[in-house]
Amino acid sequence: MTLLQSRPAPNPLKGWQVDPETIKTVGTDLARPECILAERDGSLWTADARGGVMHIRPDGSQKLVVQSASAHFDLQADEADSLLRGTLPNGLAFARNGDLLIANFGTDALEVMTRGGRSRTLYDSIDGQPLGKVNFVLRDSRDRIWITVSTKVNPWSAAICSRLADGYIALIDEHGLRIVADGFSFTNEIRLDAHEEWLYVAETSARRVTRLRVLADGSLTDREIFGPTSLGPGAIDGIAFDAYGNLWGTMIFADRLIAITPDGELLTLLDDGNPEATARFDEELDSGQPVRFETMSAAGGKIAPWLASVTFGGSGLRTAYLGSLKGTHIPFFDTPVAGLPMVHWHDHF
């Protein structure tokens, strides 16, 4: 008798794309909702350029949580000043006790804030030097904290340059804060796979995802490119795994939503960009010189302008929420595959 070998289930993303007509929105008058955290009760927490986060409750009501609100963010009055300077809460993660870890892209610090708004700086320097542009923060199942620093260049727009690779990844554990990998082209979001065996890194200015094997002591090794060497128009920003093993990604300045399958195939799930403006951005990035802010400013779409992140939440983790740098609300849609639960998904705060 011959035993039939089990075949892996078909990838739910093959042949599927987001239908723009099905996209809904949540939240109003948000300020730079770059990163989004979802909780099991339906709550959303999104970074807010007024100096903290916006808590959007399951019933749609919302509350700005800040220690002291900043009024500097006003895209209509001064877009460059709003996006390049001042407090800019960026990447978010829940601490084990439910506090919010905030990678502040404007103050160049890792901060922690209670749900009541009390905030303090955890780190603003490393080895006696300023941290640089702290972009993202991630907690793992061992309660270690990983952070990315995109660049030491200020303003950050001058680091959107294919020749520059001064970004790094740092780890906070029982030994304190230390750099575990460097030499990245504008280090952006990072994610761990389901078994926390590999750490995946969005390298914005290189248009690629890199991964590194995670050793028991937090050291990183076996660095390699995951998927295509170039992800196409725009620049990779946010990444998130689904339960099948696809790595979703947002291509800022082209406002494309993509996915890299477990075997490295690139899928385009949504394209909301301005082709002419994106082409100008790509040409400048490919030149090896810093992309002008005016060029970046002209690029992007309408659904989630300057598309920056994707987060899974909702019932069964089958809702995708899109973060952006210029949006004032959060677009969301149903997905054919559940997201991979983040480490906080089963915490009880």
Please say whether the beta carbons of 169 and 221 come within 8 A: no
Q: What's the whole-number mean pLDDT along residues 308-313? A: 98
Determine what percent of the chain is predicted with pLDDT higher than 90: 94
* Mean pLDDT within 268-285: 98
Residue at 9 is within a domain: no
Q: Domain for residue 299, yes or no?
A: yes
Q: Would you say residue 330 lies in a domain?
A: yes
For the cut 80, the answer to whether the pLDDT of residue 35 exceeds it is yes
Number of domains the chain contains? 1
Percent of the chain with pLDDT over 70: 98
Say which CATH number the domain at 100 has. Answer: 2.120.10.30
**Does residue 17 lie within any of the structural domains?**
no
Checking if the pLDDT of 348 tops 80, the result is no
Q: Please give the residue that has the higher pLDDT: either 277 or 84.
A: 277
- Mean confidence (pLDDT) of the chain: 95
Q: Does residue 4 lie within any of the structural domains?
A: no
For the ranges 5-9, 114-118, 209-213, 234-238, the lowest mean pLDDT is seen at 5-9
| pLDDT exceeds 90 at position 147 | yes
Confidence class of residue 289 from pLDDT cuts 50, 70 and 90?
A: very high
Strand partners, 242: 339
Please name which of 240, 222, 212, 132 lies closest in space to residue 177, comparing C-alpha atoms. 132
Domain range enclosing 61 = 26-346
In a domain, 122, yes or no: yes
Pick the closest to residue 257 from 300, 336, 310, 324 (CA basis): 310
Q: 15: burial class by Cβ within 10 Å (0-12, 13-18, 19+)? A: exposed
Question: What pLDDT does 2 receive?
Answer: 42
Is the residue at 11 inside a domain? Answer: no
Residue 195 buriedness (CB in 10 A; 0-12 / 13-18 / 19+): exposed
pLDDT at 3 over 70: no
pLDDT of residue 7: 56
What is the mean pLDDT of the segment spanning 227-254?
98
Q: What is the pTM of this model?
A: 0.96
Is 14 part of any domain? no
